[in-house]
Amino acid sequence: MASHRVFLTTTAIFLAFVALLLVYDDFYFTSEKMTATSPIPLEVTLSSEISSESILGSAKLRITLKNTSPHEISLLRWSSPLDSSVPAIGVVSFMSTKTGAKAPCLDMKINHRLPPEGYFSVDDESIVHIPANGKVENVVEFNEPKVALVKGEEYRAKAAGFWMGVWVNESGKGVKKLVMGEEMRTGEFESNEILVRVSSEDQAELR
């Protein structure tokens, strides 16, 4: 009976050790993989545009994504500065220079359906391609009800968020599909900060 208890105890200790070893190996492998794929050669820049105002005020910003690498980049638009819903998802924030308060925003959380095949085709509408050392730009208007900017207020505008998927074509070969997994990079992004002054007249002044 005693030998049976010793056997069970020894077996339990062994299994616990194996489990810890597997967890450690998995964590180590994941950390190494993330370290190897973490650099994302994309630079986000906000610049000024002029926009007519609506009742609560509006502002128009030019959002530029620059590829700082010598390789073509494919970017998943979701939750990025190039998301078609960028004014409503809170990627760009507006902080009042007077009160320090953030301008009200819908802060929508959008659920996207991942492709069941486990990859995106290169011509998927959710993918944008940026050539080596090239850039893409998008002019976006921020107004109610997506974000409420008040006439006469001055704001500090800045973009920040998380890249959901970036592929860097280091091989230079033609790519037909963008696989989710080790080839896909993710990480945080942050832009410069600009002052946005929403005038009390019929124009929004930005600088």
Give the tens place of pLDDT for each residue, 61-99: 999 999 999 999 999 999 999 999 999 999 999 999 999
| Stretch 54-65: mean pLDDT | 82
Average predicted confidence (pLDDT) for the chain: 80
Q: Which of 28-32, 47-51, 56-60 has the lowest mean pLDDT?
A: 28-32
Distance (Å, whole) CA 125 – CA 79:
14
Chain mean position to CA 149: 23
What is this structure's pTM? 0.75
Nearest to 188 by CA among 168, 159, 158, 161: 161
Mean pLDDT of 108-125: 91
Would you say residue 108 has pLDDT above 60?
yes
* Phi, psi (deg, nearest 5) at residue 68: -95, 10
What are the distances in angstroms from CA 109 to CA 35, 178, 194?
28, 24, 25
The helix or strand, by DSSP H or E, that contains position 165, with its residue range, turns out to be: strand 154-168
Q: How far apart (Å, rounded) are the C-alpha atoms in residues 3 and 5?
A: 5
